[in-house]
Amino acid sequence: MFTVGGQRILVIDAQVHVWDASPHNQAIPDGEAYATDLLRRHRELDGAGLPPHDVERVSEHSLTRDVFEGGYVDRAVLQPVVLGDLFVLGFSPLEWHAEVAGWMPGRFVLSGELDPGGGQPGARGLGPRVRRFDLRGLTLCERRRPAGWQRLGDPWLRRTLARCGAAGADVVHIGVGPSTLPAPWRREEKSAPTSPPGVARDRPPRVPGWAEPVRAGSALPARTRAAERVAPAGFDVAQFRELARALPDIRFVLGAGCLPGPRLCRLAELPNVYVLLTEILPWTDSLDFAHAFGQLLAAYGPERLLFGSGYPLVRPGRLVRELAAYRFPDELRHRYPRFDTAAKRAVLGGNAARLYRIGRAVPAASTAVAAGA
């Protein structure tokens, strides 16, 4: 249990992954290269605090130690990402999440995934899975893989989401997943001058030479160009508007870095759209964060912003402390809405509790931690 301004608040991490990117699960070479990217991003965002094997494969011990010990996080939402073409047994599948949730009852809420590579046939049986696992939400990435492209305007998708919502999974994350890319503003600065119109931006780096099949000793022919391990994040905004308007009872959650700031803020006119702050939270000490967060706070209000760490890329304790103590710099204090105790209570856990139907009672194992601790 975390204390802000003398008040005890419920903290819910709305983006936690339990994944296995260890060598035995990698589909070489692309799975290995993707795992390398994840380790690099972890070192950039969270320092060298965790041994590599704890980042590659999340265990019950590391999950308990890094997420729940210390009393910063009370509950978490497990977001699955299968990536079956990069990892033999799946990267972060729902079945593993269900097993982990059984180890620690009352700690987790489960979410499912709608695979863009599977199309309409891949969505069959999703409704029964929602009821079987008590799923409260779904993850949908329009371009999870280069070969899989899911149009948000497809009629069958609208019907599927409506059925899943009626079954209990009425929160849909669009394009939210582990990111190996820099902060949103750094991506824009890096790619804006060099990307010609119509060309995809933020392509992942080439597969290292040592990972090429021939150099690794395989008899397969060498690749002439690197495979795009995961397609660039993004979605058709016009199609998304139609989808959100057609399904007013579904709450859609977008990543804070999924679109340029002004375009993302314009979507606040849709009352069933929320924003997950995971992609910008590691930089709370920068002016870029102050502007990005202030614009989202002004557009969506504190009632439609969600806290998320993206663990294990970043351990949530530091993010909770920094967000709970956050104040806008003096020069921006009158430009953006006040981020007071009530707003912090909503962003850190109140909004996620409402969306995912999580009780406000705190697990008995939680201990109180003050914001200044």
* Structural domains in the chain, sorted by start: 2-193+235-370 (3.20.20.140)
What pLDDT does residue 342 have? 94
Task: Answer yes or no: is pLDDT of 97 > 90.
Answer: yes
CB burial of 247-270 (b: ≥16 within 10 Å; e: otherwise) equals: beebbbbbbbbbbebeebbebbee
- 301-326: average pLDDT: 95
What pLDDT does residue 79 have? 93
For residues 170 and 216, the model is more confident at 170
Shortest CA distance to 279 belongs to which of 89, 15, 82, 62? Answer: 15
Task: Answer yes or no: is pLDDT of 367 > 60.
Answer: no
What pLDDT does residue 1 have? 63
Q: Please name every residue paired with 16 in a beta bridge, in sequence order, or none if there are none.
A: 78, 311
What pLDDT does residue 6 have? 76
Shortest CA distance to 234 belongs to which of 205, 201, 197, 185? Answer: 201
**Worst-scoring range by mean pLDDT, 183-192, 324-333, 348-357?**
183-192
| H or E element in which residue 140 lies | strand 137-140
- Kindly state the tokens that stand for 202: 């933020």
Indicate the pLDDT class of residue 369, thresholds 50, 70 and 90. Answer: low
Instruction: For residue 233, give the DSSP letter.
Output: P
Determine contact, residues 117/125, Cβ cutoff 8 Å. no
Beta strand 171-174 with 273-276 is unpaired
What pLDDT does residue 371 have? 63
- Reduced to 3 states, what is the DSSP secondary structure of residue 312? coil
Separation between Cα atoms, residue 23 and residue 155, nearest integer Å: 40
What pLDDT does residue 28 have? 75
- pTM of the model as a whole: 0.84
- 136-153: average pLDDT: 71
Give burial (CB, 10 Å; 0-12/13-18/19+) of 112. buried
**Worst-scoring range by mean pLDDT, 115-124, 158-167, 348-357?**
115-124
